[in-house]
Structure 1
Amino acid sequence: MNKLIVLVAFTLMASYSFAQQKRPLDVEACTSWNRIDNSKLSPTGRYVTYKIVPTERGYSDSDKIPTVLFDSKTGKKCLELSNVDNFKYFNQDKQLSYTQTDTAGNTIIYILDLPSGKKTLWKHPESFAPVNGAQISASQINIAEDKAKNIKSHDNLIIRSLKSKDTLCVENIVRYDIFNAGKNILFLQDKGEMRQMKYGPIMGPYKVLLKGKKNVMPAYFNFDQKTLAGKFDIKDSLYCRFNLKDNSIDTVLCVNEIPVPENMKIARINFTKNPNYVMLEIGDKDKFGKKRKKETRTKDDSFELELWTWDEVEVPTLQTASTYQRSAYDKYMYNLKTHELVNIAPVEANMNLPYRALGDVNYLIYTVETPYLKEKEWREKIPFDIYSVDIHTGISKLIGKEYREQPKWSPTGRWAMMYDPHAKNWNKFDAKTGEIINVSADIPYPVYDEIYDKPASAPAYGIPGWTSDGKYVFVMDGYDWWKIALDGKEKTICFTRGYGRKNQISYRILYSNIDKEIYEPNEKIYVLGIHMKDMSQAICQIDMKGNVRTLIHEQCGYRVFAFSDNRKYCLWARQNVSTFPDLYHSTASFTDIKRVTDANPQQKQYLWGSVKIVEWKNYEGKQNRGLLYLPEGYDSKKTYPVIVQFYETHTEEKNHYIMPLLSSAMANATYAMSNGYIMFMPDVHFTIGTPGQSTYDAVVSGVNWLIDQGIAHKGKIGLQGHSWSGFQTTYLVTKTDIFDCAQIGAPITDMVTGYLGIRNGSGLPRYFMYEDTQSRMGATLWDAKEKYKAMSPIVDADKIHTPLLIFHNDNDEAVAYEQGRALYLAMRRLQRPAWMVNYKGEGHFVLKTAAQKDWTIRMMQFFDYYLKGTKEPRWMKEGIQLKDRGYDQKYDLVK
């Protein structure tokens, strides 16, 4: 035998031996996984901090977990700090500060030199507050009242140089703002009965901008560090603007000069983005300042009555003490030049103002949801009507009825984009002319979600942004971006040049700390490219000419946590079915990639699995997709047990890492694969009014396809669903005997009583789920009586021949416990095999670790018995009577 053959044989044997050493996941293994918390990138991008936290620990407990500091320059962990909080980098990431709490509850501040780790105690009485871009700390400290020395309680500002150790104390500080990279300061300061507004170099000397007695001076100011301009008011009466460039102060508004109608009073003043206009809310003077009369009634505590009235705005389960105490007033526009006051909106209106700019416009928009307030019980979102109003005359006009999404304003405040949920198109509203024009008519593809299958109107794919000059808006279709000239003088173009649709890539916003809606001429926009065929993802950049550049593309999903302040580096994670989303550090172009964490090295010890997208033709004659999870080392010649599990659609989750956790409801796919199961998750797309039949057409056709392919085998196919898919699984077992067992969790089994129920958690009647959203009936019970009955599987419980394990907890906040119990009682009366599990006091999901362990064991024992042919556990054979509860869990198998 030559050396090459020997080497190959040895390698194969070693690989086989390693595979044999791997073991299936068990309950204890599911408690050994970790998550990553508090991941942060330093401002320069050099350092990463994070915590590795056991999944069993709650988020409130993670403060006891050490924080790790990773240095991207060396590619290694450089520090580990225990019981620390409030990390602050400063001095160009050469130092950081943090706090620790001692056993007596005292907060201690330390300064750490990087990367050496040299630690210095902050010994000063004030808090450490480094100023960005400067070698100083600036923070307030309160001086307590000392009656003996005639000192009133006040705040001092301590400015301490970290370089020279020089210190300045600005006494009696009221408010301050440090700007120009820590070089300058603006502040209000009291001295006796006087108050001054000063500014100047951080350590002085200071110029006086304004001074006077406290009662005629501002108590605060707003300041724009870029323009060096700001504003303040004096007792909500005199409103002024100031500018440090020319040391000027101008009076903008004197409230006493506004021609308020007789017997009316100003309730609120809102300065708009246009210097010529002020928005006012004005109401009846007699209704202002009136305190509620002191309660003099005597309460009858002998009983408590809850009265339900048919025409109230809200049912009692939604009412709060403040339900009917909302104060609102008519809206007015005041012209600071002409001094004209115009009533532009009624009391019930919600103004939809441009929040970036309000140019020289003649019309504004407001919305009114009052006619639809009661409909919150049968609609997912309360609709509203949209009105335009002439700000010079106050004349309003209805321009949109029963809309669902608020209008979105351009950067200049000239245009508003409005998605019409009925026509399913984008309209532009011109705030100068009041015109409304359909601007998506030239886009040859739908601008709304084409596969949306709920009764409510399909939502738009969305607006990813605008050009900074306000001339163009970008609108998305299912794949590409379109560039629309708002003035209508240019033809609408496909900004991404059709590359997305041609290659079946959907370009969507990549969410991170640098999300933008306003794009400069030299902008390079980060986007997520979702490859729809295999659901792999890419991180791309699109320049303002529409050129798309792929930075990284793998069979995985991405999440970007942060880019550094200089936009040179980023912190991100990648994941797929076998790759935990560990942290990675790289350049902003996703080169020079360094792995930061290895949170779960123990994964190598366990059998895992793989996933692929499968496709077949369903019983409606449509192409149907789903996910097929296969055990590690899958052999197509062998027979495997199959669990069919689904909810709505799953193919978009192909590259999700499923952490092997204890079950809180349905089986964990990773756990099942590791224990030799195939997991099948078919997509279900629904026809309104017949959700059960839609489920049958998709799921049963998929199962039969698996059988035809030799992947699934009769006698070894189980079914599982929870909540909405709990209904779906219940419906399926009344229509087919193809499943050898089914586990059903928190199901709606009766659509009639389900529709007429109330969610215990929110107090909201369940109408909206049926008429508008998930349950997909699309009509009231009385408009579709026969369909509601047909979609109520409890009526056909006598047709169930599949053994059931029913899971429903008595404190379920989403689905009434009685729904699952009714299914159990029906099976009991029919004397069909069924077990019901109720973790008393638990809700829609099992949250306590001990209960999760118990449920994971029982669920898998149930499937193992019916699908693997294992011995029956005693709890299935004997039950657990009251005398045995908590004493004998009966996990052991019958001998």
Structure 2
Amino acid sequence: MRKQLLTFLALFCFASFAVAQEKKPITWQDIPTWKYMQSNSFQVSPDGKWIAYGNVALEADGEVILQNISDPSAEKKSFPIGSTNFPSISFSDDGKWIAFKEYPTFAESKANKASKGKPLRDKLTLIELGTDEKTTFENVISFSFNGKAASHLAINLAKDGNGDGKGSDLLIHHLKTGKSQNMGNVSEFRFNKSGSHLAYVVDAANKSGNGLYLLNLTNNSTQILDSDKASYKSINWTEKGDAFAALKMVEDKKYKQDHGQVIGVKNLNNPQVTIYDALKDNIGFDQAYTISGSRRPMWSEDLTRLFYGIHPLTLTKKDDKKELDKDSVKMAEANAMEKIMADTSIKSIADLQKAIAKLNSGQEKKEANTDKPDMTIWHWNDSKLQSRQQVTANQDKNYSFWAMYNVASAKHTALQDSSMKDLSILPKHRYALGSDAQAYELDINLDGQQYSDFYIVDLLTGEKTTLFTKFYIPSYSSSPRPSTDGTKLMYGKDGHYFVYDIASKSTKNITENLPVTFVDVEDDHNVEKPMVGALGWSSDDKYVLLRDGWDIWQVPLNGKSSSINLTQDGRAKKIRYQYRFGLDPEEKGIDLTKPVYVRTYGEWNKKSGISLLSPAKKGGLSSGAKSLIWEDANVGGLRKAENADVFFFSKETFNMPTEIYMTDASLSSPKQVTENTPDAEKYLWSDGTQLVDYVTDKGDSLQGALFLPANYVEGKKYPTIVYYYEKLSQTRHNWANPGFSGTGWNPTVYTSNGYAVFIPDIVYKLDDPGMSAVWAVLPAVKAAIATGVVDENNIGIHGHSWGGYQTSFLITQTNMFKAAAAGAPLTNMISMYDLIYWNSGGGNMSIFEASQGRFSGAPWENWDSYERNSPVYHVKKVNTPLLMLHNDKDGAVDFTQGIEYYSALRRLKKPVILMQYKGENHGLSKLENRKDYSVRMMEFFNHHLKGHAAPDWLEKGIDNLKLDEHLEKRGF
């Protein structure tokens, strides 16, 4: 009996343990405390021996993970950092120290917000690597190690008090001694590259002691470079760190802007200070202008010239005091006294005072009403819509033109003016490239076709010469791009790439004799011959590396050697050699004497990896790419430790979170060094993915990615959500971290909860953006049904913005779908054409004619196309229950688009629900709103596709007076 009892207890305990360990679908309520690696937080010490990264959560405290990866026996260390989504972590350049910020905990922040307390302050933790020595600093705003020297840590402390000075305490912590010195009232500081010097600005109350200072960290000596009752700002070191420029701003109450001066400092051990005061240069400087405080100044590479911005001065407005008509004043006073004397309600001094105040108030109001009106004039000749001008008002107001000061000749030269709006100073600072589209701006804003004039500016003389007039830019890739020495420009025109030599003014077509086209033939927008983006210039400027959409070509500029197809097999094997990994952050161009790592992608199998291009013996690269990694995964993010041959790359799949792997230059035998999503083992995830091939009704061969539900059983059919946005099948291996998106959509959460997810590609035909979705999506879904995974009786569709448009249109053309959710959809292409994209202030018409809309003209030139592709004109055919998300402050797709469709469906008594989150834009930003809609959208699909009972809001709606109570019950 005892033996049987023990056996029973053992089985019971095992069963209980199994139940406890049983995985479950992840719920929306699990996500606020779900921890994940914030990808941008991953840091590598320059010697490649240490890594650190932050694991964070939406509504819980995070941690910094620190590990010595050079020692296999070393344990990971974890340090609490409070609540943040963006950890701040930094290694010193010598790999001996790490510093990271610690934030208030989630509980502290929540309590402080509820009590409306003073802002909580961050802390800073400093650790000497390889030891347990830890130093904590309180009240920290920002921090920085001193570059290559790695001898000091600067810590900017939060400002105490309400003085008018902008500066606060700056701690300079000596890493070796552990001692700190405090410098007060510092508003800005910058180390040079070597870390030998710190330039800083003092900004104190009443401007006492304000100035520009230089601290020599090798001997701890400080020099005052300039001091005045002025504001100093915009410290900008040269790339070498041998000089810096800054601004000095002096207040003048006659003008709205301060008068600017530019300061140049070089010869750091015995500083040579140049100050150019434009106000004193009556001959060379137009006194209607001043040096701008909104553009950071800079030295030329040879330290002979200073570059800075200038902008017009604006006089301070003075109140025009009109002479008073004394007789009118006396008459008004007499009338007022009569009214007061006749007022029988005045029975005390207090009543009299109220009556007088009332009269005065009325008079003031009358005077206020005579002020200028608050209005806007929209003129048909405006090159930019008034709404666009309003959006860019501050930018335009603070816009500055580049100018130059020659130190030796003490001469100022304006490099641009209002006739040339944009100017880019080219590498090596010999030339600048100017551009101006003002002559074409009206037409650009109407039809979306981009044109610009281009100019070359000589940075020795300031002379401007015309390069191109009305240059067509079908895509960014056609724009001129400088060589690494700034003496040549590469640009795309008429389907070819050209190189222009600035000094000789000669032009050469570098692709005319190649057997492939560099036009992006897959771009289906209404533009002419857009180019495939180039990889760039070689570091010696002898070659350019171009992409033809599949392979990479090395094209010489000397005309003597031949162009080489470096990758060779891309087009044949349908492998796209997409982009190069830049492993040296200080590189200038592509060094062809070193191996070049390239990201690869399989167009039809969705594999990805990294290939290597090797240097040739006679210069350039040898032909043929060596595949180093090629997997059914999303591989990328290749990086290298700054001072060691230690390499890292990222890898993920749809059901495996992103992890970082360590390896060597061969990328062989990689070792996982991160632990993303530490709670992942508790939950169910998708069982994998399948590719679905299909042919559209117009004959295009496309693919869709089918994501299997968790616990998938072959032969069983599953409720399915179809999601789309142009082409997305390339996301087959992308991990979607469980979270609350601005659209309510998260494929990982849906597959965890038993849904299959299907994401088909859509290609577009001109003048038929809606019908293109029908021609692509319906055959795609039929092909997905044929896999046996998709339950054809329980399919839902969802998309947001342009995808929302596809959803709202699809349900007018088919009854294939049992439920649909559309976020911020375009529903009336005719009315939408003439509306405004409020986020930018521009008009929609250019988007319709040359961008995503894909129409060949305006509605009045093509009524049939616009009507044929507008959901609202086919609303009578809708039989699919629709959940719409559209917010009243949507600055991309006007709220009226959602209202039009909702009202039309409601008029026809079609099942539609519109979710409006007050004050939200094109997507949801507030966490409470993102939570709410994510839950509601899944409840909507659960009801229609899984047969779950409908919650009250879905079944019968919620009365406005009961809404608060309803929302309080649902909050989490």
TM over 0.5, shorter chain: yes
Listed as ranges, the gaps of 5+ residues in structure 1 are 1-12, 145-151
Paired with 2:927 and 2:298, the residues of 1 have a C-alpha distance of 51
Preserved CA contact (<8 Å) 2:545 2:555: yes
> Which residue of 2 is the match for residue 505 of structure 1?
576
Preserved CA contact (<8 Å) 2:213 2:226: no
Shift of 1:417: 0.7
Preserved CA contact (<8 Å) 1:91 1:134: yes
What is the aligned length?
A: 846
Match of 2:604 among 533, 538, 543: 533
Shift of 1:535: 1.8
Match of 1:752 among 808, 820, 830: 830
- Secondary structure of the residue aligned to 1:66 is strand
> Which residue of 2 is the match for residue 96 of structure 1?
98
> Which residue of 2 is the match for residue 148 of structure 1?
none
Preserved CA contact (<8 Å) 2:718 2:756: yes
**Cα distance 1:439–1:278, how it changes in 2: closer, same or farther (>3 A)?**
farther
Paired with 1:220 and 1:796, the residues of 2 have a C-alpha distance of 58
Shift of 1:52: 1.7
Amino acid in structure 2 at the alignment position of 1:202: T
2:144 is aligned with 1:67:
no
Q: How does 1:41-80 map to 2 (within 5 A)?
A: 41-54=44-57, 56-57=58-59, 65-72=62-69, 73=71, 74=73, 76-80=75-79
> Which residue of 2 is the match for residue 472 of structure 1?
543
Shift of 1:656: 0.6
> Which residue of 1 is the match for residue 11 of structure 2?
none
Between the aligned residues of both structures, percent identity stands at: 22
> Which residue of 2 is the match for residue 653 of structure 1?
731
2:219 is aligned with 1:203:
yes
> Which residue of 2 is the match for residue 608 of structure 1?
686
Amino acid in structure 1 at the alignment position of 2:63: P
Shift of 1:265: 8.5
2:191 is aligned with 1:118:
no
- Secondary structure of the residue aligned to 1:373 is helix
Amino acid in structure 1 at the alignment position of 2:608: Q
Amino acid in structure 2 at the alignment position of 1:65: G
Q: How does 1:404-483 map to 2 (within 5 A)?
A: 405=476, 406-420=479-493, 423-457=494-528, 459-483=530-554
Paired with 1:555 and 1:369, the residues of 2 have a C-alpha distance of 46
> Which residue of 1 is the match for residue 328 of structure 2?
none
Moved more, 789-798 or 441-450: 441-450
Residues 214-261 of structure 1 show CA distances to partners (whole Å, capped at 9, x for unaligned) of 99xx9999776859678899999999896689x998999999999978
**Cα distance 1:890–1:159, how it changes in 2: closer, same or farther (>3 A)?**
closer
Paired with 1:756 and 1:801, the residues of 2 have a C-alpha distance of 29
- Secondary structure of the residue aligned to 1:768 is helix
Paired with 2:632 and 2:417, the residues of 1 have a C-alpha distance of 55
- Secondary structure of the residue aligned to 1:318 is helix
**Cα distance 1:319–1:679, how it changes in 2: closer, same or farther (>3 A)?**
same
**Cα distance 1:584–1:380, how it changes in 2: closer, same or farther (>3 A)?**
farther
Residues 368-417 of structure 1 show CA distances to partners (whole Å, capped at 9, x for unaligned) of 11113335644668642224578798553535523354421112222111
Amino acid in structure 2 at the alignment position of 1:410: S
- Secondary structure of the residue aligned to 1:48 is strand
> Which residue of 1 is the match for residue 630 of structure 2?
553
2:770 is aligned with 1:692:
yes
Shift of 1:327: 6.4
Paired with 2:187 and 2:22, the residues of 1 have a C-alpha distance of 68
Paired with 1:157 and 1:282, the residues of 2 have a C-alpha distance of 31
Structure with the higher fraction of residues in helix conformation: 2
> Which residue of 2 is the match for residue 578 of structure 1?
655
Shift of 1:657: 0.9
Paired with 1:408 and 1:889, the residues of 2 have a C-alpha distance of 54
Paired with 2:796 and 2:404, the residues of 1 have a C-alpha distance of 65
Listed as ranges, the gaps of 5+ residues in structure 2 are 1-13, 109-117, 160-164, 203-208, 250-259, 292-296, 322-366
Paired with 1:692 and 1:887, the residues of 2 have a C-alpha distance of 40
Match of 2:43 among 40, 65, 68: 40
Residues 475-518 of structure 1 show CA distances to partners (whole Å, capped at 9, x for unaligned) of 22212222222233332222334556546232312367738452
> Which residue of 2 is the match for residue 369 of structure 1?
437
Shift of 1:354: 5.3
> Which residue of 1 is the match for residue 387 of structure 2?
317
Paired with 2:306 and 2:804, the residues of 1 have a C-alpha distance of 55
2:838 is aligned with 1:790:
no
Preserved CA contact (<8 Å) 1:135 1:161: no
Shift of 1:689: 1.1
2:468 is aligned with 1:398:
yes
Paired with 1:877 and 1:870, the residues of 2 have a C-alpha distance of 12
**Cα distance 1:558–1:838, how it changes in 2: closer, same or farther (>3 A)?**
same
Shift of 1:428: 1.0
Match of 2:702 among 606, 615, 624: 624
Paired with 1:233 and 1:760, the residues of 2 have a C-alpha distance of 35
Paired with 1:219 and 1:808, the residues of 2 have a C-alpha distance of 43
Amino acid in structure 2 at the alignment position of 1:413: G
Preserved CA contact (<8 Å) 2:551 2:567: yes
Paired with 1:378 and 1:835, the residues of 2 have a C-alpha distance of 35
Shift of 1:696: 0.9
Preserved CA contact (<8 Å) 2:520 2:549: yes
Amino acid in structure 2 at the alignment position of 1:43: P
Normalised to the residue count of structure 2, the TM-score between the two structures is 0.73
> Which residue of 1 is the match for residue 378 of structure 2?
308
Amino acid in structure 1 at the alignment position of 2:97: Q
Shift of 1:367: 1.3
Paired with 1:843 and 1:256, the residues of 2 have a C-alpha distance of 45
**Cα distance 1:382–1:20, how it changes in 2: closer, same or farther (>3 A)?**
same
Shift of 1:654: 1.0
Moved more, 648-657 or 846-855: 846-855
> Which residue of 2 is the match for residue 5 of structure 1?
none
Paired with 1:860 and 1:412, the residues of 2 have a C-alpha distance of 56
Q: How does 1:591-602 map to 2 (within 5 A)?
A: 591-602=669-680
- Secondary structure of the residue aligned to 1:319 is helix
Shift of 1:749: 1.3
2:442 is aligned with 1:384:
no
Paired with 2:716 and 2:201, the residues of 1 have a C-alpha distance of 80
Preserved CA contact (<8 Å) 1:389 1:397: no
Paired with 1:647 and 1:559, the residues of 2 have a C-alpha distance of 23
**Cα distance 1:443–1:277, how it changes in 2: closer, same or farther (>3 A)?**
farther
Preserved CA contact (<8 Å) 2:883 2:913: yes
Residues 116-170 of structure 1 show CA distances to partners (whole Å, capped at 9, x for unaligned) of 32235689x999975445474376999x9xxxxxxx9999999886557899999
Paired with 1:809 and 1:331, the residues of 2 have a C-alpha distance of 45
Q: How does 1:177-216 map to 2 (within 5 A)?
A: 202-203=218-219
> Which residue of 2 is the match for residue 9 of structure 1?
none
2:645 is aligned with 1:568:
yes
Paired with 2:298 and 2:239, the residues of 1 have a C-alpha distance of 21
Amino acid in structure 2 at the alignment position of 1:300: N
Moved more, 463-472 or 831-840: 831-840
Shift of 1:565: 2.0
> Which residue of 2 is the match for residue 737 of structure 1?
815
Shift of 1:739: 2.4
Paired with 1:45 and 1:556, the residues of 2 have a C-alpha distance of 25
Preserved CA contact (<8 Å) 2:820 2:881: yes
Preserved CA contact (<8 Å) 2:886 2:916: yes
Paired with 1:186 and 1:656, the residues of 2 have a C-alpha distance of 44
Shift of 1:53: 1.5
Amino acid in structure 2 at the alignment position of 1:630: L
Shift of 1:691: 0.6
Preserved CA contact (<8 Å) 1:567 1:588: no
**Cα distance 1:212–1:845, how it changes in 2: closer, same or farther (>3 A)?**
closer
- Secondary structure of the residue aligned to 1:885 is helix
Q: How does 1:223-262 map to 2 (within 5 A)?
A: none
